[in-house]
Amino acid sequence: MFVFVASASCGRRRDSSSTIFAGTRVVMPNIAPRIMVYPRGAPAPYVEEGWLALPVLPHVSGSPVVFGDGSHATTRLCAAAVDLLCRQRQPEAILDVGTGSGVLARVARARGARFVVGTDIDPAALASARAHAALDGSSVEIHFVAESPDHWGARFDLVVANILEEPLRSLAQALANALRPGGALLLSGFTRMQMPALRLVFENVGLTYVRHADLDEWTLLTFARGP
């Protein structure tokens, strides 16, 4: 059975629509204000102009669970921010560190990014991300690899990393080094309580704090690299 449970991890109402698929009512959540996910094989939901509807593969029993179906607050914070920044600034090159199922990289590509990279240390995540990206039928390839964020040099207009606090601390310099001058860094995967100390870590690698946003106990931090 393939059912998306809306908002299970967030404890807060969210907008969604639903359809009957294989005899089951399937909830199709909005993971961000203009982004919806739906199960591959179900009819694509009607979306208004400017919205994205991304198909998501069902979990196959016995296979590793890969993070990134859009239900977690950190994914939703990141998806909304990536979407907004892409529409406002049209970044050309985007790096999604800890890509999981590849959902954030797919949003960036759908919004027009032309050099899109997703990295992960988990081979199951990279396989899932490749399979999900193939569903979009895009002519722009997303490069899913296990490289360090600074592998491409200071190449990216936008870097997003939704990982836990400890890996983010370890990757701080490499994440900063991946940004072009003027580029933006989005971080999530940590709580409000952890945010102030993490903010200092990234300021200490030369980035400028821009803002933060919260959803439930989770936080999204935005930084800029100076010109």
What residues line the site for ligand SAM (CB under 6 A)? 67-68, 74-75, 78, 97-100, 103-104, 119-122, 125, 162-163, 167, 171, 189
Q: Which is nearer to ligand SAM, 44 or 121 (CB)?
A: 121
* In the complex, least distance from residue 23 CB atom to ligand SAM, rounded to whole angstroms: 29
Q: Which is nearer to ligand SAM, 29 or 189 (CB)?
A: 189
Q: State both tokens at 212.
A: 């933060």
Minimum distance from CB of 131 to ligand SAM (Å)?
A: 14
Q: How far is the CB of 75 from ligand SAM (least distance, A)?
A: 3
Cβ closest to ligand SAM, residue 75 vs residue 194: 75
Q: Which is nearer to ligand SAM, 97 or 113 (CB)?
A: 97
In DSSP notation, the chain reads -----TTTTT-S---EEEEEETTEEEEEEEEETTEEEEEBTBPPPP--TT-EEEEEPPPPTTSPP-S-SS-SHHHHHHHHHHHHHHHHH--SEEEEES-TTSHHHHHHHHTT-SEEEEE-S-HHHHHHHHHHHHTT--SSPEEEE---GGGG-S-EEEEEEE--HHHHHHHHHHHHHTEEEEEEEEEEEEETTTHHHHHHHHHTTTPEEEEEEEETTEEEEEEE---
For ligand SAM, which is the closer residue by CB, 115 or 190?
A: 190
| Residue 147 C-beta: closest distance to ligand SAM, Å | 9
CB of 188: closest distance to ligand SAM in angstroms?
Answer: 7
